Amino acid sequence: MSSGTLRHSATTVLEQWRTSQWHEDSLRHTMLAFIDSNADACLRANEAGHLTASSLVLDAEGRNVLLTLHPRVGRWIQLGGHCEEYDDTVVDAALREAREESGIEDLDIDTALLSAHTHPITCSLGKATRHLDLRFLVRAPVGAQAVRSAESTDLRWWPVDALPDTAEKDTIAHLVELALLR
């Protein structure tokens, strides 16, 4: 377990990602170049930016999505966060974050990348940086009850066709659309 194994796993996930849009392929190549040129690309200590891992959590029926009201962002978004040196892979990081933020232990993650995104943010470093987010599909078991963690202002299941007004609607709706195609 090291930043090297995280980098290798991120590279593998991105190389295997079959994008359908030219802009996704462009982002994929940009992220691969970033990883190649930054030994700590997956760790928050890399102030220029760093990879993060998030999860779009759907219920077992695919009718509801679990979203967190992020305290820094102020909007409803998918679960996720920073990779840690003890994470073997970016998939492990995404699953760990989903478990920590949802309180649901028995989650099932699809190891194929669902989507990728980059955005500026002031995260736990306290400085402006960029998150290069790798996004995965996670399914919750039947009857899963989510429990809000200290990392969230609120946590709740939303119908996939009735997202909250303060959600990153285009982003979340696009992720849901991609997830339902799987």
Could you tell me where the beta strands, DSSP code E, fall in the chain? 50-58, 64-69, 76-77, 79-82, 108-109, 115-122, 128-139, 154-159
The reported pTM is: 0.93
Contact 9, 90 (CB under 8 A): yes
Q: Which residues contact 166 (CB under 8 A, 6 or more apart)?
A: 69, 74, 75, 76
Q: What is the pLDDT along the chain (182 residues), one digit of tens a residue?
A: 466 899 999 999 999 999 889 999 999 999 999 999 999 999 988 888 899 999 999 999 999 999 999 887 788 999 999 999 999 999 999 999 999 999 999 999 999 999 999 987 776 667 777 889 999 999 999 999 999 988 888 999 999 999 998 887 678 989 999 999 88
Q: How many residues does the chain have?
A: 182
Q: What is the CATH number of the domain that holds 15?
A: 3.90.79.10
Q: Which domain holds residue 47?
A: 3-181
Give the three-class secondary structure for 41: coil
User: What is the total count of domains within the chain?
Assistant: 1
